[in-house]
Amino acid sequence: MTDIKKTREWEVFEYIVGAQMACILIFFVSFSLGKGFSVSFSHSLALITGTIGVVAAFLYRFLERLLNQKKILYIKVAYVMFPILITAFVLLQVPHGPYGKQVAILLPVIVAATVLGKNGGLFIAFLGSAFLTWSSVFFDRKPLIQALEQNLILISVTFLMGWFIGSITNLEAESRKRLQENLDELQGEIERRKFAEEQTFKLSRIVEQSPASIVLTDTDGNIEFVNPQFTRVTGYASEDITGFNISRLGSEPAEFYEQIYEEVREGKEWSGELLIKKKNSDSFWEHTYFTPFKNAAGMTTNFLKISEDITEKKGLQLEMARLDRLNLVGEMAAAIGHEVRNPMTTVRGFLQLLGKKELYSTDKEYFTLMMDELDRANSIITEFLSLAKNKAIEKKMHNLNSIIRSIAPLLQADATKSDYNVVFELAEIPDMSLDEKEIKQIIFNLVRNGIEAMEHRGTITIKTYRDAGEVVLAVQDQGKGIPDDILSKIGTPFYTTKETGTGLGLAVCYSIAERHNSRIEFKTSPDGTQFFVRFKGSCEAD
């Protein structure tokens, strides 16, 4: 930008200097023709005038950049007036040269036309011609008409010069002005673009650094763009997923998504919670907004999907709901458990008594069956009672690994009867305050679920390790996993999918975990399930 301006100004300056040089040349030639090539007083004056003209032109261009408009005007006027005065002085000093005084009139005209433009040039041409005519009348004592006639050609040339050079100067000034305007406009445009570019850059950073995952799809739900947060959350890179329909990530059927698309196509917004599958087939919950993405003409050309991972929040909600249910059931259990047990103990006692009588010797097996059933009912009540929130427990400092080792033979003995095996991976962990019986119960329940899920074939892995300041007990199976539709029911008392199950196993685990200031989490896939019991703050003492 500045470079263009400089070059243009330099061109103008060169043009002016060129005009000044031509001026000197004309002057010099005119004097030479008049007086031969000897350097006379008039020659010297002409040279000085021309030189001063060039220096003044240079100064003028130079000062123009440094001075304000008003001062520049003074300089312009002085620059025009100075040659006039010098010319007048030359003409008065050398009045009798044959061509000198006539041609000398061209100098101020050229200078004025160059600096002031057409009007200035013509005005000085008029002044010069008047002066020329007057000097003919005054010095040569000629009548006015004759004086005019004698100088007619020179006067015409003077006016022509003033008009021609002045027009070029005007043209140049005009084009300079226009160029400046264009440059200003261009500068404005560049600044506007720069601003727009900055805004666009910021916008792209917002999308890139957004903590929400952003997806742009066409109006059929086919993915066109995903932001880095989407990749972080789902594991799908942009190139893996572009072109796929967004419904493929969801757990809901494609028709469900089709309904959402229909709504958004109509210009409405859809928001709700969706269960999404990651690349590694884990699932997570997200709160999603689907909004129409419109072009400048207001037409919906795409869908914008903005979502936030709410798995943790959802987990907490589920946990709270589960604990509420557990507590309720636990309180009920505590209240009625004893009341039911006492009559049952009485009934069992009488059955035992009657069963020994000779009278019922043929029905002995029925008595045994009745008592077995009562025992089973009793054990369910025992388990049920352990759901009571304020159940008395006996916590002591134990090492979780020792507890696991103490029941290992039992777990392995069972395993040898079937086709599965139990593997232990126990890392070094600190002692914790635990109720031994309850911890054994958790391990038994989780291992039993695992074995049942594997249909008694495969490997159960029991691990202990430290993670993020917590001691973790993990029980992993190679079963078929927990189906999505029952995920939210896991841990609900009496929820079971097994014919002979009571649905209390996990409820008891959750209840025990709560009494141990720990929490239960799980990961499940068609290749197996892993339950974790995380003992909060258990490693803080280290």
Ligand X SMILES: Nc1ncnc2c1ncn2[C@@H]1O[C@H](COP(=O)(O)OP(=O)(O)OP(=O)(O)O)[C@@H](O)[C@H]1O
Determine the Cα–Cα distance for residues 164 and 171; give it in Å rounded to an integer. 11
Determine the Cα–Cα distance for residues 504 and 342; give it in Å rounded to an integer. 22
Closest distance to Mg ion from the beta carbon of 506 (Å): 6
Determine the Cα–Cα distance for residues 165 and 372; give it in Å rounded to an integer. 127
Residues 431-470 binding ligand X (CB under 6 A) are 445, 449-450, 453
Phi, psi of 244 (to 5 degrees): -80, 155
Closest distance to ligand X from the beta carbon of 231 (Å): 30
Closest distance to ligand X from the beta carbon of 261 (Å): 34
Q: Closer to Mg ion by CB, 136 or 449: give it.
A: 449
Q: Closer to ligand X by CB, 332 or 539: give it.
A: 332
DSSP at 454:
T
**Which segment (166-174, 250-258, 311-319, 495-503) binds ligand X by CB under 6 A?**
495-503
Residues 512-531 binding ligand X (CB under 6 A) are 529
Q: Closer to ligand X by CB, 126 or 495: give it.
A: 495
- Residue 495 within binding range of ligand X, rule CB under 6 A: yes
Written as one letter, the residue type at 62 is F
List, as one string, the DSSP characters of 322-354: HHHHHHHHHHHHHHHHHHHHHHHHHHHHHHHHH
- Residue 330 within binding range of ligand X, rule CB under 6 A: no
Interface pattern 475-494 for ligand X (x via CB under 6 A): --x-x--x-------x----
Q: Closer to ligand X by CB, 286 or 477: give it.
A: 477
Q: Widest CA span of the chain, in angstroms?
A: 179
Which among ligand X, Mg ion, none contacts residue 495 (Cβ within 5 to 8 A by kind)?
Answer: ligand X
- Residue 430 within binding range of ligand X, rule CB under 6 A: no
Which alpha helices (DSSP H) does 94-225 contain, by range?
Answer: 100-104, 106-116, 118-139, 144-150, 152-209
Q: Closer to ligand X by CB, 222 or 478: give it.
A: 478
64-72 long-range contacts (CB < 8 A, ≥24 apart) are: none
Interface positions with Mg ion (CB under 5 A): 449, 505
Which among Mg ion, ligand X, none contacts residue 490 (Cβ within 5 to 8 A by kind)?
Answer: ligand X
- Residue 217 within binding range of ligand X, rule CB under 6 A: no
Q: Closer to ligand X by CB, 387 or 482: give it.
A: 482
Closest distance to ligand X from the beta carbon of 374 (Å): 18
Determine the Cα–Cα distance for residues 352 and 407; give it in Å rounded to an integer. 33
Is 102 exposed, middle or buried (CB count within 10 Å of its CB: 0-12, 13-18, 19+)?
Answer: buried
Q: Closer to ligand X by CB, 166 or 450: give it.
A: 450
- Residue 497 within binding range of ligand X, rule CB under 6 A: yes
Residue 98, CA atoms < 13 Å, CB-side half-sphere: 7
Determine the Cα–Cα distance for residues 229 and 191; give it in Å rounded to an integer. 33
Interface contacts to ligand X, rule CB under 6 A: 445, 449-450, 453, 477, 479, 482, 490, 495-498, 501-507, 529
